[in-house]
Amino acid sequence: MTISTRRIAFFAGFTRTRALRWILAAGIVATIAGAPPTADARQARTVRAGAYDGVWNVVFVTRAGNCSATNSAPFAVSGRRVSSVGGGKVTGGIGRGGAVSVRISVGLSVASGSGRLVGNSGAGRWSGIILGDRCSGTWQAARG
């Protein structure tokens, strides 16, 4: 193994003052990188998180199974959470880029769905057990 004289010369010229400057500079960079977000950054993140806020009317279309051909239900979106406006229990969330996943239960019926919201509309797929029958299909949503 050989050690480069060039590397040794670099460290030989490293005075105590120069070393302190390097340590302080590295500490400042690390502090900036790990600093909490500014008010502007927090506000921008909040706006993005609430980009889909409002009441959405969702129409479910059955493609497979012995369930009603179509059903509709209103959902509420607040921040990154999806909840029920009407009957039943609705839980779910919205991720970056509008990716949405939801779980719906009404009595013994339960269904899960996923898809994407863009602007004031959305679409995706769902599946579940509705009144004892296994069913699946598509959904479309419109805000307002």
Whether the predicted model's global pTM rises above the 0.85 cut: no
For residue range 104-117, list pLDDT tens digits in order. 999 999 999 999 99
- Regarding whether 77 and 102 lie in a shared domain, the answer is yes
144 confidence band (pLDDT: 50, 70, 90): confident
**Residue 124, strand partner residues:** 115, 139
What is the per-residue pLDDT for 50?
83
Structure tokens at 80: 């990154």
What is the per-residue pLDDT for 35?
42
For residue 79, give every residue at least 6 positions away whose Cβ sits within 8 Å of its Cβ, in sequence order, or none.
49, 50, 53
Q: How many CB atoms lie within 10 A of CB 104?
A: 23
Residue 100 covered by a domain: yes
Q: How many CB atoms lie within 10 A of CB 33?
A: 7
Closest among 99, 68, 114, 104 to 83, alpha carbons compared: 104
144 exposure class (CB count in 10 Å sphere: 0-12, 13-18, 19+): exposed
Distance CA 95, CA 114 (A): 11
What is the per-residue pLDDT for 13?
52
For residue range 2-52, list pLDDT tens digits in order. 544 444 444 455 454 444 343 433 333 333 334 444 444 443 444 355 899
75 confidence band (pLDDT: 50, 70, 90): very high
Residue 109 covered by a domain: yes
CB 100 within 8 Å of CB 115: yes
The residue range of the domain holding 121 is 50-143
- Regarding whether 79 and 28 lie in a shared domain, the answer is no
Q: What's the domain count of the chain?
A: 2
What is the per-residue pLDDT for 15?
52
Whole-angstrom CA distances from 73 to 34, 48, 91, 100, 109 are 43, 25, 14, 16, 14
